[in-house]
């Protein structure tokens, strides 16, 4: 077995166009029926404002597949700790024997999630944008904007967080990292009305974005709702979208923003919903004109985890990295 550390993974796997391409290929495989992906298993720790998810997917033809355990403990910022953590295991598709442990502490999840956000914007946002709005000021709020910068040019960023101090810190740090003007604002409505692309990155249980704030040409990527009790955008937002896209309809209907739109009756069914793999495989066109309102509901998929884990494994093996452990015992 090969054990790979977070530092090794950070040194050799970055959020770049290659990583985005790897995740895009994973969505194509999913759309083409080349992926076996079971439902997410989740443990909620409501009294600790935390959760642990188990995600996995087998991609036909691959020598290994990933099982990922990821946690989100959303009070961790009070302790000076990141909210996300976790690890990945790669298992042989021929023998079922574990081949590698990727001790990434959530880093690879950040990469693959941000890559999916970039893919959503690539197919759904207008080509020419100036202002990006971010709701939330945690790790993923940072990764998402860095990923978006790889597929779109923009001049300004607006950020809103329930913690004004965290929003101000985000604005200060991201201004330096991006080389752009990043401004903290004191309400979500300002973010939506003044942005061309809006990214929601919160564990909110009540909608942060209202349908009345929408306008022609807006794109929203909502990636925070990945449990039945979470909701970042009003259900009516999905009904007003000219293009409504999910990473997978089945999963979003159970866990995502789509879940609330269907449960409330705002959407009668998911017949008009597009899966992101249908865009990446060129089966369906994303944005058709600059006036469309587009929404992408991302809940995070096991195929993304297998894709990024295999990519990371191959990168580090080629660099002769990792600790090899002989854990085999045979009679």
Q: Residue 307 and residue 174: Cα distance in Å, rounded?
A: 28
Asked about 68 being catalytic, the answer comes back as yes
Q: Residue 82 and residue 260: Cα distance in Å, rounded?
A: 28
Q: Is 192 helix (H, G, I), strand (E, B) or coil?
A: helix
Q: To 10 degrees, the CA torsion angle through 29, 30, 35, 36?
A: 180
Q: Residue 132 and residue 130: Cα distance in Å, rounded?
A: 7
- Here the tokens at position 181 are 């003007």
Other residues' Cβ atoms within 10 Å of the Cβ of residue 288: 10
Q: Residue 94 and residue 177: Cα distance in Å, rounded?
A: 44
Residues across the chain? 331
Q: Is residue 307 within 8 Å of 23, Cβ to Cβ?
A: yes
User: Pick the catalytic residue: 29, 68, 230, 249?
Assistant: 68
Per DSSP, helices labelled H in 58-138 are: 107-124
Q: In degrees rounded to 5, what are phi and psi of residue 17?
A: -65, -30
What is the DSSP code string of 193-224? HT-SEEEE----SS-SB-GGG--TT-EEEE--
Q: Residue 239 and residue 306: Cα distance in Å, rounded?
A: 32
| Order of strands, sheet of 131-135, starting from the edge strand that comes earlier in the sequence | 181-184, 156-160, 131-135, 197-200, 219-222, 294-297, 243-246, 274-275
| Residues marked as catalytic | 68
């Amino acid at each position: 077995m090969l054990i790979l550390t977070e530092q090794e993974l950070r040194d050799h796997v970055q959020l770049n166009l290659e990583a985005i391409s790897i995740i895009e290929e994973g969505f194509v495989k999913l759309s083409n029926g080349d992926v076996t992906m079971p439902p997410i298993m989740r443990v909620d720790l409501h009294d600790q404002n935390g959760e642990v998810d188990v995600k996995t997917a087998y991609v036909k033809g691959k020598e290994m597949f990933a099982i990922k355990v990821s946690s989100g403990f959303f009070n961790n910022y009070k302790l000076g700790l990141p909210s996300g953590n976790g690890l990945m295991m790669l298992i042989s598709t021929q023998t079922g024997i574990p081949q590698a442990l990727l001790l990434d502490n959530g880093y690879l999840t950040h990469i693959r999630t941000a890559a999916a956000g970039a893919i959503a914007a690539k197919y759904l946002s207008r080509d020419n944008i100036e202002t990006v709005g971010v709701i939330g000021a945690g790790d993923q709020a940072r990764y998402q904007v860095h990923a978006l910068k790889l597929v779109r040019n923009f001049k300004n960023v607006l950020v809103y967080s329930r913690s004004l101090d965290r929003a101000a810190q985000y604005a200060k740090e991201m201004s330096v990292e991006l080389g752009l003007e990043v401004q903290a604002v004191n309400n979500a409505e300002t973010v939506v009305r003044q942005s061309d692309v809006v990214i929601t990155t919160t564990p909110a249980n009540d909608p942060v974005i209202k349908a009345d704030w929408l306008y022609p040409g807006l794109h929203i990527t909502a990636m925070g709702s990945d449990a039945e009790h979470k909701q970042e955008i009003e259900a009516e937002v999905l009904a007003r979208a000219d293009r409504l896209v999910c990473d997978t309809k089945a999963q979003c209907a159970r866990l995502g923003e789509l879940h609330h739109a269907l449960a409330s009756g705002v959407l009668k069914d998911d017949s008009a919903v597009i899966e992101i793999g249908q865009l990446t495989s060129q089966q369906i066109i994303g944005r058709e004109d600059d006036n469309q309102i587009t929404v992408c509901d991302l809940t995070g998929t096991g195929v993304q985890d297998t894709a990024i884990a295999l990519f990371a494994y191959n990168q580090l093996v080629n660099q002769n990295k990792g600790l090899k452990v002989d854990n085999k015992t045979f009679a």
